[in-house]
A and B are shown apart, each in its own frame.
Chain A
């Protein structure tokens, strides 16, 4: 897919995100917007999968696990737009009897979701398990996971980080969404974590950084590099520098929009900043 086409996808995804959370006056637009470019690239370019014939085992497919489940809007949008379920279903987000729960679940058989997430810090362990399953099955595909940076404050991550390198789980690419923000403020204010790169390197991961995590070109280069590093004895960590709220000017440079929905006027502004020629809103 051309870079400009990927940018259009990401722009449409941003429209979906703000419309979804606005419609139910709840949800998490900030981190969702920041990861729109990354997930658009993953699902529309890098990963190999069969959206129309979703099955839980995913043998012969690349797998993705969202550990920071609260950014479900961006994932739901990308899943729907890559064919896992009808785009119209995005309108049910957070509504009664919806398969699109506030945080992702397998409970309602939503295609594309293989594990519930929401309680933080569990996704890396799950990704490791799925990667080990692939190794046992002789399956050469790759497992991707995405984590918030604040989420690294959960201790289970460090159990998993220690395990993955010690046991050479090298068919795994764990991406950290480094936006430097969490609910109560900046990560430095809440619980400063120092150098996340140094920490992953100390745990013997292969670490690379995407300094412009909201630039499609930088994402393409960085993630192609990441994929080329799999299968070489070490798990791969991508530090993805993003801007929470990216693409909506009044949501950027603050943690305020981590978990707050825009009102009608704010929605109009947000949409006007993400006009896709030939937009296909649900």
Chain B
């Protein structure tokens, strides 16, 4: 199978920070808002270079979302940054009314998503955010897999008019996507072609899916691996095209099995071409602390 090389592990949030640094230089409409987490969101450079376009809101996420919505009036492109839990669950109604229903061009950027946050534990390990965001009409939902893809996505969403939820994380993970790979919202990327099974993975689990494909290859099983960075709008054509070859599918995500990527894909299958599907996801549970980095479980039930 095609080999992907880890060019040096980095955290995806640093890809976001690098994207913001570049946007600061290239797009003067871009403004950034943060709820007391400048370091965690890697906003340092943007704040230093563009203090007039950086808004420290304090620990007041509801106000941050509302201010971001207001800033769009007058042509600004606000990027809000805080942890995923406080970016979504805490402010759901503000996003629903002031951003999504009002069709405001706000980019909600969320770090520390999923289980791989690790030692902070379940209060911070939101596993419901993809579901919450994908249910909002008009909301684009993106979950990037590595530093390079997160940087590219951050830059790409500034040119997309409409609300976006961009999800990334804290752990240092392999950086393997080419730095010059264009980021096209809603366009799945086939990382490895295969014929026996399709693995559709998002976020940090894309790399793990590649490792799984290698392990399967040793057992004589040919796995097609799809990097599905955009969960909404979902690239249904890419999934169905792969499924036509492999006839079965595995989905992998750092999210509750309820409401996540897997369910979105199950809907595509049941509406178009019913096929066996296995889910690598959290089975309706909260997270838990873990000092060590999460590794791909051998059992599909995380």
The judgment on whether A and B are partners is yes
Judge if A26 is at the interface, Cβ distance under 8 Å.
Answer: no
CB within 8 Å for A125 and B74 given contacts A107-B101, A115-B102, A162-B60:
no
Q: Is the CB of A160 within 8 A of B63?
A: yes
A162 to B60, CA, bound (A): 10
Which residues of the other chain, A, contact B62 by a CB distance below 8 angstroms?
122, 125, 155-156, 159
Contacts of A136 in B (CB 8 A): 31, 52-53, 74, 76
Complex contact B73–A57 (CB within 8 A)? yes
- Of all A-B residue pairs in the complex, the 9 with the closest CB atoms, nearest first, are A129-B70, A125-B66, A133-B74, A159-B60, A159-B63, A129-B67, A126-B70, A130-B70, A129-B71
Residues in A neighbouring B96, C-beta threshold 8 A? 119
Q: Can you list 18 A-B contacts with CB-CB less than 8 angstroms, sorted by A residue number?
A: A107-B101, A115-B104, A116-B102, A123-B66, A125-B65, A126-B69, A128-B70, A129-B66, A132-B70, A133-B70, A133-B74, A133-B75, A136-B31, A136-B76, A156-B63, A163-B58, A163-B63, A167-B55
- Interface flags for A58-86 (1: CB within 8 Å of B; 0: not) read 11000101000000000000000000000
In angstroms, how far is the closest chain B Cβ from the Cβ of A246?
28
Given contacts A106-B101, A119-B97, A156-B66, 9 further A-B contacts (CB under 8 A): A122-B94, A129-B73, A130-B73, A130-B74, A133-B74, A136-B76, A159-B62, A163-B63, A163-B67
Interface size class of B (residues with CB under 8 A): 20 to 34
Set of chain A residues within 8 Å of B76, measured between Cβ atoms: 133, 136
Which of A56, A116, A118, A124 is B73 in contact with, Cβ under 8 Å?
A: A56
Do A116 and B101 contact each other (CB < 8 Å), given the known contacts A133-B76, A136-B52, A162-B60? Answer: yes
Query: Which residues of A157-174 are within 8 A (CB) of B?
Result: 159-160, 162-163, 166-167
CB distance A105 to B102 under 8 Å?
A: yes
User: Measured between C-beta atoms, what is the minimum distance from A72 to chain B in Å?
Assistant: 14
Least Cβ distance of A84 to chain B in Å? Answer: 16
**When the two chains form their complex, are residues B55 and A63 in contact, meaning their CB atoms are under 8 A apart?**
no
**Given A136-B31, A156-B66, A162-B60; A122-B97 close (CB under 8 Å):** yes
Interchain CA distance A170-B250 in the complex, whole Å: 55
B195, chain A: closest CB distance, angstroms:
46
Complex: chain B residue closest to A169, CB-CB: B67
> Is the beta-carbon distance between A106 and B67 smaller than 8 angstroms?
no
Q: Is B213 an interface residue (CB 8 A)?
A: no
Q: Residue A97 at the B interface, CB < 8 A? A: no
The answer, yes or no, to whether A127 is at the interface (CB within 8 Å) is: yes
User: How far apart are B88's CB and chain A's nearest CB, in angstroms?
Assistant: 16
